[in-house]
Structure 1
């Protein structure tokens, strides 16, 4: 049996529960001559030696070697290693293991605040830990760590889905027992993930249906934003090569789209919209108008898209080339009058869902946006 001292995110009991696979009850403890800081420009802490300082944390006693291995898998993948230290408790001095960062990997920033971390990251990281720990014993820690950002993004997607309004004025209101999940497997998890679900659901006649097997393509939530200049009555669309149409056999792999991108962990859809417009088109947006949120292909894909119209200044010369080289983006933008955009939709040259949804919304709301811009 081994004892552990935690000073950072694992002081959050729900996260510790997710990593260990059971509820635990640590006790307060502290490590003299050490201080805890945020890792500079990161969302997690590190501990540093500092004479006279005291690192507050918790002590968890009596873990099995199997549980210690789970902790090693979780922390080791993030570049932390174990060391024995002597910590102070109400009952006296205890020797315990502590996870320390690899020297020089990160620099200390501001003093660490567990409540601040819990408020912004706690639920997301805890949700992600459940998926991350599914790889224990199957996926090497280094490989799991390499995919952690996507795991975190999927966790954020699940939290957004649970928190979103779910009106049921026409559709069935799902009640406990209406969905019986028999098993969920994840045979592939990389930039995207594939999940194999076996489930039963209640039929419209009230009976439970037979077991069904379905594969879901787990795609991170995304946003689209169509920049619109209400004074000049023009939009900006982007053009880039897309693998999906090419794989379908479409002879035209280059597609016209609204600016779009996946929501990064810790971002709101609005923040993503503004970031993507800067990255793809070099545009700073004014007011953002939410068009709607929707599932483009709910039969097979988890992706949920939130579309916006972004008010922008689009003078002649605003179009150009953009994208992030590290993401292999090669993007060209075009300025179009609203009527020219609708003509491209009519001919089928503009055929991407978020662009169509946003253009039709703009067609309805355009008079009001133009009137507000001239006041």
Structure 2
């Protein structure tokens, strides 16, 4: 028996509904509807809404009819990660008509209501991110449990947020101005998707000689955007570096896998990179950076990875007495901080002890601007 569902929130965004149901909006029976005596609000500190009974509320949304058992199963899979479940209601349609439908209500006590929900505001801020995350969620339909996918949802969103940040592209004064839209890209469906993601695909692209390349089989490591910040005290010419075990050198069988780094961490979905840098400075080094300035924005390994670095300079007062161990216990971080002279840091670059590209790159940026930074300290 087919069913009718009323949607009041993110699934009123038809591109998202299409992803979840796995078919075109032209094939879906959709009409405008209203649920009286209910109010839709943002979930506090989350990128989605909730609905609750309210005597003067009128929740506007859409009624989707003729949903098959598989449609409902796909919807349950998607919504289950948000801890919502179905309940029956009566909704109002045009011309005074009514209809019975089911609605996803939040589980009692799980979420707290925030400000009034506005769909257009959500689409502007979260539409693209949520579409990308939903594609990843639904890839796991029929393969993993709701709980397993819910655990990965913040990482799906973070990858979606990276795609949104990627729209702020860099200049093309020397390099080619051809668009990514001119590259023919076809996913092949193989790969791996977890905290990390490996995508396989076929592609062809316009060559510099004006011809089209042959179809190539390739793969890419789909990672995250990261915020990096290097604390610098221009008055005393000191820098802070952090030290921790890194799995890349370890798995390469480097006998010395502890490395000297800037403060760094993944940019959470919806988070401005500068705010991520500020947050990571507190978590990894116990310092509250008030004066953060942009450095460079770079792809560290564009040949195979989407990873992207937003680099910042953190102007602050430093003292060797600030050295210690830090890190979030919840993330099993074990981090040691070092406060050293800038000249010592550059000597470590020259000796190879600093063997991390972003550390070297950011120290060289300071070297380029050091005179003016110190003069204005």
Corresponding residue for residue 245 of structure 1: 249
Cα distance, 1:177 vs structure 2: 7.1
Q: Is the 8 A contact 1:182 1:200 kept in 2?
A: no
> Given that residues 29 and 66 in structure 2 are in contact (C-alpha distance below 8 angstroms), is that contact kept between their aligned partners in structure 1?
no
Q: Distance in 1 between matches of 2:212 and 2:335?
A: 49
User: How far 1:12 sits from its partner (Å)?
Assistant: 2.4
Contact conserved, 1:86 with 1:94, CA < 8 A, in 2?
yes
5 Å matches for 1:217-256?
217-256=221-260
Residue 331 of structure 1, CA deviation: 0.4
Q: What's the counterpart of residue 315 of structure 1?
A: 319
Deviations 1:150-169 (A, max 9, x none): 111111111222x1224333
1:177–1:96 Cα change, 3 Å: closer
Alpha-carbon separation, structure 2, partners of 1:22 and 1:15? 10
Secondary structure at the aligned position of 2:376 is classed as helix
C-alpha separation between the residues in 2 aligned to 1:177 and 1:336?
47
- 8 Å contact kept, 2:187–2:199: no
Once residues 10 and 19 of structure 2 are traced to their aligned partners in structure 1, the CA distance between those partners, rounded to angstroms, is 12
- Where structure 2 has 5 or more consecutive residues not aligned to the other structure, the ranges are none
Contact 1:5–1:60 (CA under 8 A) maintained in structure 2 = yes
The equivalent residue for 1:131 is: 136
**Aligned Cα root-mean-square deviation (Å):** 2.0
Give the Cα–Cα distance (whole angstroms) in 2 for the partners of residues 318 and 186 of structure 1. 48
Q: TM-score, normalised by structure 1?
A: 0.92
Q: For structure 1, which runs of at least 5 residues remain unmatched after alignment? A: none
For 1:176 and 1:336, how far apart are their aligned partners in 2?
43
| 1:98 to 2:84 alignment | no
User: What TM-score do you get using the length of structure 2 for normalisation?
Assistant: 0.92
Q: Distance in 2 between matches of 1:216 and 1:367?
A: 41
Q: Encode CA deviations 1:6-49: one digit per residue, 9 max, x unaligned.
A: 11222223322332332257433222232223223322222223
Separation in 2, partners of 1:41, 1:330: 28
Cα deviation, 1:98-119, whole Å, max 9, x if unaligned, reads 1112222223333333343333
Alignment of 1:1-375 (within 5 A): 1-20=2-21, 21-23=23-25, 26-91=30-95, 92-161=97-166, 163-175=167-179, 178-185=182-189, 187-373=191-377
Residues 224-274 of structure 1 deviation map (CA, whole Å, 9 limit, x = unaligned): 110001111111000011111011111111111011111110111111111
CA contact (8 A) 1:223 1:307 kept: yes
Q: How many residues align?
A: 372
Structure 1 residue runs of 4 or more that deviate by more than 6 Å after TM superposition: none
